[in-house]
Structure 1
Amino acid sequence: MNDKIIFRLIAAVSVVVFVVVCILQAKLITFFPEGAIVPSWVYFLPKLNAILNGTCSILLLVSLYQIKKRNIQAHKAINIVTFILSSMFLVSYIIFHATGIKTTYGGEGLIRYIYYFILITHIILAAVVLPLVLLSFYSGLRMNVLRHRKLVRWSYPIWLYVTVTGVIVYVMISPFYTF
């Protein structure tokens, strides 16, 4: 496949994921009608997502360490695992939000503003980082080092921020889960 096709595919995947997440967040569509019984395993997904995000955060730091040591094979292997775990997160996230389960943050005062600041920046940057990660990943696999380095200057810190704040959001909202 040539680069043009890959770039179009990355753009299409990024737009589709963004639209699906927006629809699910707005609760415009749910896969379970009102009053339907949601399978019990679905309630574990937010915790799984936090575990996946936390693991990705650690792996991203280890990946940086490995590339600084010029251990390209370890760097590449770690990034493949991180990419797979992030993909699992995305699927899990979509499944959970497709159920229509709602949780409202109940903190008050300054902590409420902090929570929403973290949540909003997390959501915006998660949308921004997907095409950057896909392009970085593709460039790295193709060993296009110059392009990979240019992209990673942006994608790496954003991806790390998104994974870390994903865990923080979970820790902050989980006491308010009603399931």
Structure 2
Amino acid sequence: MKTTLRNSDRVAIPVIIGLSVAVPVIVLILMLLPERYNIFGADAITFPLFHAVLNFATAILLIIGYFFMSIKNYIQHRNTMIAAFGLSVIFLVSYVLSKISNEPVPYGGEGILRYVYFFILITHIVLSAVIVPLVLFTMYRGLSGQYDKHAKVARWTFPVWLYVAITGVLVFLFMMPYY
């Protein structure tokens, strides 16, 4: 069994590392595009609203998945976390499309709310990059039956992923008046 896991690690770990580097780089490049191509003809609020809904649903699924894990219902835990991962993948694809489609909208708030917004935004962005390898390693370890390793990385993944999901909703709420 250990030989099989090591062999799968030889493939999975480089793929996880490659995706963990590629995803933030691609998003950064798309944010710097000199021209946008609104391929769906979407209003400025369409993508952000969809992203907020996905982030909210992901946060709910993460909490439910944590609950299932805490009561040792591992099948429901696995299914719920796979659903949260699926929503995150849909979010990522949609986010990439939104960066191609719409110009960035500047935040127009003032005073203390401006500082609160930028603190939330900056921590959200930084942790969004950090969460990619955490989620991928957590999913891989759990689905490949490496439960001890899964539990060790999941202790870090869960709070960071939940924070990113919740702050994604908060960023939308802060920005909603400016779309």
Q: Which residue of 2 aligns with 1:17?
A: 23
1:72 aligns with 2:74: yes
Q: Once the two structures are aligned, what percentage of the paired residues are identical?
A: 40
Identify which range, 136-145 or 158-167, moves more after superposition.
Answer: 136-145
Q: Deviation string for 1:97-130 (max 9, x for gaps)?
A: 1124120000001100000000000000000010
Letter in 2 for 1:105: Y
1:1-179 mapped onto 2 (5 Å cutoff)? 2-25=8-31, 27-28=32-33, 30-32=35-37, 39-40=41-42, 43-177=45-179
Give the conservation status (yes or no) of the 8 Å contact 1:29–1:98: no
**TM-score normalised by length of structure 1:** 0.91
| Residue 7 of structure 1: how far off its partner (Å) | 0.5
Identify which range, 95-104 or 124-133, moves more after superposition.
Answer: 95-104
Matched residues, number: 173
Judging changes above 3 Å, is the alpha-carbon distance between structure 1 residues 29 and 132 closer, same or farther for their aligned structure 2 residues? farther
Tell me, which stretches of 5 or more residues in structure 1 are unaligned? none
Letter in 2 for 1:16: A
Judging changes above 3 Å, is the alpha-carbon distance between structure 1 residues 82 and 38 closer, same or farther for their aligned structure 2 residues? closer
Letter in 2 for 1:95: L
Give the conservation status (yes or no) of the 8 Å contact 2:33–2:100: no
Give the conservation status (yes or no) of the 8 Å contact 2:44–2:102: no
Give the conservation status (yes or no) of the 8 Å contact 1:24–1:30: no
Judging changes above 3 Å, is the alpha-carbon distance between structure 1 residues 71 and 94 closer, same or farther for their aligned structure 2 residues? same
SS at match of 2:48: helix
Judging changes above 3 Å, is the alpha-carbon distance between structure 1 residues 37 and 90 closer, same or farther for their aligned structure 2 residues? closer
How far, CA to CA, are the matches of 1:19 and 1:37 in structure 2? 22
How far, CA to CA, are the matches of 1:99 and 1:53 in structure 2? 20
How far, CA to CA, are the matches of 2:79 and 2:19 in structure 1? 23
| Residue 19 of structure 1: how far off its partner (Å) | 0.5
